[in-house]
Structure 1
Amino acid sequence: MKQSLQLRTSQHLALTPQLQQSIRLLQLSTLELHQELENLLIENPMLERVDNPLDSAVRLLADGAIGSTESRSETEFGVSPVDDQNNASSDSGEVSEVSNPSDSTSPSETDWSFDDAPQGSKSSEEDEGRPQLEAAHISLKEHLLEQMRLNLREPRDLALVELVIDALDDSGYLIESLEDIHSSIPLELLVEPEELNFALFMVQSFDPPGVGARNCAECLALQIKRLPKIPFVTRRLALAIVETQIGLFAQRDFARLKKIFNCDDEDLREAQVVIRLCKPKPGAEFAASSSDYVVPDVIVSKSADGWQVVLNQDIMPKLRVNSMYANIMKQNRGDGSLTPQLQEARWLIKNMRQRFETILRVSQAIVERQRNFFTHGAVAMRPLVLREIADTLGLHESTISRVTTQKYMLTPHGMFELKYFFGSHVATETGGEASSTAIRALIKQLIGAENQKSPLSDSKIADMLGEQGMVIARRTVAKYREALKIPPVSLRKSL
């Protein structure tokens, strides 16, 4: 084979590091963005954050004086000192400026001592400004152990009751049988099964009612026995239902229940009210739960000119290039080792600005096409796909998908993810299209207004939607109903 040199011209698409960073920042949520930003601030000394909450903190100087660092007024995302020489000089003076106590007009503004503290009681405003501390969380086990110490004195009884408490799950149910617990106890202790039964009886007498039950029927029965001011006949019927026919009651087979217990609708209705007063998971109130908060990226409000979309300024980080390092490089006092970091800082500021501008443009396009939703609610939602927004803004569908993922919009109707405004469509008899979101809202309205004694079936709902001009199958109604977490017709029926 003969070797030769060939010259070939070709074109290919390459993702520059700046474009890769822009794509990555665009698909991050607000929380992930701030976490990424904190890492970049640590790695890059050329980058600094202007909206640092410590900027307005009161600082104690070396000579004992107090110097307050006022927040600097900066434009959003900052201005690179290298790009503007005039701004660089002014910024450098601002960063390097240190408060001098000798420049103060009066010593009382800078000097501080214990004698300057006001005497007497504090004002009500100072008392209200104190931070409120959250109370310590008490678990179900701690709550039961506290009651155990108040009701028992014998060490042997205390040990057995604590052994039963350790076998409870977070809902308050006994997840181990008494036989298994007895087999795990050493034989030399000579523990009788009756002693474990007594320990379980003591645990079931503790608060909350129903704790220590081995199944749902026993849990409900324990609570019904302790409910106050319940007529004897009603209590007895409710106990019989939960102890023997809990499955029929869960399926709402009221006809068979009336036949089995030989009762009428009024007696069964009163027993149903009593059973609904019980909690299937008595230990749930002691579970440690934390609320998840969603911060909106954009806010939609009504104005005289229509619906206005603005960015949430509270989540927009304000960045800039560190002016001290920038001035050192401009005056050629550095060796050029920070040049890559400077370029990365300028890229990040630009990409951060572009990220929020893209989110705002997409949000404005969504609001423009879903005006009826903001005026009338979910029933007026129109079909919308990613391609429609992409063609309008001149962007790719993948870009719109990244923008609408984990980005939230605060509206007068509540908080929604941007993807909520996109959905499939259902054909109408007139040849038009109806949004699946609007159909789900209509299904929810129809079920909410139905007669509880004769609820609407999926076929009936499909017929009612057909009367409004929407061509929809019964299985589609069932799919939308399940998406709304609405039980079927048999579980919605009441006496």
Structure 2
Amino acid sequence: MPVITMNNRAETRQQPSISPRLQHAVRLLQMSSMDFGIAVRDVLGRNPFLEWEDELDEGRASAGTGPSEMDAEEARTQPFELENDRALWLADGAAPRVGSDSSTTSALDWVAADTPLNAHLHVQLNTLKLSDRELALARVVVESLDDDGYLRTPLSELQGIEALSPAASLHDMEDALATVQSLDPAGVGARSLQECLLLQLDEIECPQMRATARTVVQDHLARLTSRDVSALASELGRLPRDVQAACDRIRHLDPHPGWQLGASRVDYVVPDVLVARVRGEWAVQLNPAVVPKVRMNDDYVKLFQRHRSEDNAEMGAHLQEARWTMRNVEQRFSTILAVAQAIVQRQRHFLEFGAMAMKPLGLKEIADEIGVHESTVSRVTNNKYMATPTGVYELKHFFSRTLLSANGSACSGTAIRGLIQDIIEAELADHPLSDAKITEQLAQQGLVVARRTVTKYRQMLRIDAVGRRRH
């Protein structure tokens, strides 16, 4: 009978662990500057040892016109309140201007007010000769439109919204929809893309072109999207140039007419780093607008240290948090600046000559240069932007893998994409180049690139395939 022996043996293994504070520091490093500024404001709003640098007071103090000692002491004892600044800003922007000769004109006074789509349509309804019943039903349709001007709610669901006697019928709702569809902008109130385009065809002045366009939209919309003009002309029995002209006119119609009005969404990018050429050299500096102007309140620190005891452990935690926040702000922006300087040093030819001069660059190369880990460089380049004389680029834009040419020299993927774009821009409109032909042209220039790579780069450039580029 076999004997089974069991050995109990204790083993000690070391596994890396990340403290919660280090994890938080990593998250802060990966944030965009806007999110980081919000995080710093949040800490400053609850931490008495932190305060904003008041440049105005510093300027007055240097000029000898600073506030009295009593005022200064009172200012130090008043905690910073973010909501006060917000209220002042809102009051300044919303307060009415008294008198037309005021010299304090705000920039907001020159901003055109947006007109919502429904308000724009209601104004037009008021000018039409409609009965109270017709006007009420038309207003129901207007209030049911989406922001892009489409009506995606069935008319049958709108019948009972307005309490009328007799109740609104489906025919009444169709008449109300027709009234709304007659308003400006053309195409509003459509229930499909096809209907939206048909409502805009009356804007075509040429009767022959208008008739051709109506036939295309009604019966051959799929052919329009495939850009197969030859087959479409054959089906319609018309000259290809006439069909092409009608298709081009259709493509100039607005598929989202409602977006012409209302608040427009604009996404702004605030660069973290500014790059400019100074005396023949590329100079890199942090954008002062994204660096939080926060500092330690030395008076509070000294006062706390003089009266520190075991009973105020919470204040001690605040002091530790304040020091850590200041260190984090300094370390974050010094790392961003170091990474940006290293990138500019290696990609200065890109700044001078464009995408074709972009060199292959990896995270490890920058990490070794500034003495940090690759993961740190990856986090620093995430959601961080650099403003250059040729445009604003995300820091990640300057990194690309190495591709070898036929003679063994290195070339970056960004340079290949720039060359592909140049080749497509130079092609003939009636004889566009396929991805295979582009691959052959690259090979003739000594760049061995797979066809699927050319396809991927073309898609990254948001360039249509050869069939859609053919005119």
Tell me the TM-score range normalised by the shorter chain. 0.7 to 0.9
- Aligned counterpart, 2:343: 366
- Provide the C-alpha distance between the structure 1 equivalents of 2:415 and 2:37, rounded to a whole number of angstroms: 35
- Aligned counterpart, 2:191: 214
Q: 1:393 pairs with 361, 366, 370, which one?
A: 370
Q: Which has the higher contact order (CA 8 A, sep 6+)?
A: 1
Structure 1 residue 244 corresponds to structure 2 residue 247: no
- Provide the C-alpha distance between the structure 2 equivalents of 1:373 and 1:234, rounded to a whole number of angstroms: 47
What's the TM-score once normalised by structure 2's chain length?
0.82
Q: Is the 8 A contact 1:211 1:282 kept in 2?
A: yes
Structure 1 residue 312 corresponds to structure 2 residue 315: no
- Aligned counterpart, 2:437: 460
Q: Which amino acid aligns with 2:402?
A: H
Q: Is the 8 A contact 1:457 1:489 kept in 2?
A: yes
Provide closer, same or farther for how the CA distance between residues 211 and 17 of structure 1 changes in structure 2, counting only shifts above 3 A: closer
- Aligned counterpart, 1:161: 138
Structure 1 residue 433 corresponds to structure 2 residue 410: yes
Q: 2:359 pairs with 354, 378, 382, which one?
A: 382
Structure 1 residue 47 corresponds to structure 2 residue 50: yes
- Provide the C-alpha distance between the structure 2 equivalents of 1:14 and 1:260, rounded to a whole number of angstroms: 70
- Provide the C-alpha distance between the structure 2 equivalents of 1:314 and 1:191, rounded to a whole number of angstroms: 58
Structure 2 counterpart SS, 1:434: strand
- Aligned counterpart, 1:404: 381
Deviation at 1:168, TM superposition (A): 2.9
Choose 1 or 2 for highest CA Rg.
1
Question: Cα deviations across residues 35-90 of structure 1 (Å, max 9, x unaligned)?
Answer: 11112112221112214xxx63xxxxxxxxxxxx454789xxxxxxxxxxxxxxxx
Equivalent pairs: percent with the same residue? 41
Q: Is the 8 A contact 2:230 2:240 kept in 1?
A: no
Q: Is the 8 A contact 1:22 1:355 kept in 2?
A: no
- Aligned counterpart, 1:326: 301
Structure 2 counterpart SS, 1:310: strand
Provide closer, same or farther for how the CA distance between residues 281 and 19 of structure 1 changes in structure 2, counting only shifts above 3 A: closer
Structure 1 counterpart SS, 2:282: strand
Q: Is the 8 A contact 1:95 1:324 kept in 2?
A: no
- Provide the C-alpha distance between the structure 2 equivalents of 1:450 and 1:123, rounded to a whole number of angstroms: 59
Greater mean alpha carbon deviation, residues 183-192 or residues 455-464 = 183-192
Question: Cα deviations across residues 441-472 of structure 1 (Å, max 9, x unaligned)?
Answer: 11112112221111111111111111111111
Q: Which amino acid aligns with 2:232?
A: L
- Aligned counterpart, 1:294: 269
- Aligned counterpart, 2:423: 446
- Provide the C-alpha distance between the structure 2 equivalents of 1:95 and 1:169, rounded to a whole number of angstroms: 55
Q: 2:36 pairs with 33, 42, 53, which one?
A: 33
Alignment of 1:26-425 (within 5 A): 26-51=29-54, 56=56, 69-71=57-59, 96=73, 126=103, 128=105, 131-132=108-109, 134-178=111-155, 181=158, 189=166, 191-227=168-204, 230-329=205-304, 332-335=306-309, 337=312, 338-425=315-402
Provide closer, same or farther for how the CA distance between residues 313 and 73 of structure 1 changes in structure 2, counting only shifts above 3 A: farther
Q: Is the 8 A contact 2:362 2:400 kept in 1?
A: yes
Deviation at 1:221, TM superposition (A): 1.9
Structure 1 counterpart SS, 2:447: coil
Question: Cα deviations across residues 209-235 of structure 1 (Å, max 9, x unaligned)?
Answer: 1122232222222211244xx222222
Question: Cα deviations across residues 411-450 of structure 1 (Å, max 9, x unaligned)?
Answer: 1121111111112232211122221111111111211222
Q: Is the 8 A contact 1:452 1:492 kept in 2?
A: yes
Unmatched 5+ stretches in structure 1:
1-7, 57-68, 75-91, 99-120
Deviation at 1:237, TM superposition (A): 1.5
Q: Which amino acid aligns with 1:316?
A: V
Provide closer, same or farther for how the CA distance between residues 93 and 313 of structure 1 changes in structure 2, counting only shifts above 3 A: farther
Provide closer, same or farther for how the CA distance between residues 40 and 184 of structure 1 changes in structure 2, counting only shifts above 3 A: closer
- Aligned counterpart, 1:88: none
Question: Cα deviations across residues 252-295 of structure 1 (Å, max 9, x unaligned)?
Answer: 11111211222223322332343233211211212433322211
Q: Which amino acid aligns with 2:193?
A: C
Q: Is the 8 A contact 2:140 2:162 kept in 1?
A: no
Number of aligned residue pairs: 432
Q: Is the 8 A contact 1:173 1:211 kept in 2?
A: yes
- Provide the C-alpha distance between the structure 1 equivalents of 2:12 and 2:124, rounded to a whole number of angstroms: 84
Q: Is the 8 A contact 1:408 1:418 kept in 2?
A: yes
Q: Is the 8 A contact 1:168 1:174 kept in 2?
A: yes
Structure 2 counterpart SS, 1:207: coil
Provide closer, same or farther for how the CA distance between residues 11 and 164 of structure 1 changes in structure 2, counting only shifts above 3 A: closer
- Provide the C-alpha distance between the structure 2 equivalents of 1:94 and 1:17, rounded to a whole number of angstroms: 40
Provide closer, same or farther for how the CA distance between residues 94 and 480 of structure 1 changes in structure 2, counting only shifts above 3 A: farther
- Provide the C-alpha distance between the structure 1 equivalents of 2:316 and 2:163, rounded to a whole number of angstroms: 72
Question: Cα deviations across residues 232-260 of structure 1 (Å, max 9, x unaligned)?
Answer: 22221222221221211221111112112
Q: Is the 8 A contact 2:339 2:366 kept in 1?
A: yes
- Aligned counterpart, 2:26: 23
Q: Is the 8 A contact 1:21 1:351 kept in 2?
A: no
Deviation at 1:197, TM superposition (A): 3.0
Provide closer, same or farther for how the CA distance between residues 363 and 226 of structure 1 changes in structure 2, counting only shifts above 3 A: closer
Kindly report the root-mean-square deviation, in angstroms, between the aligned alpha carbons of the 2 structures. 3.3
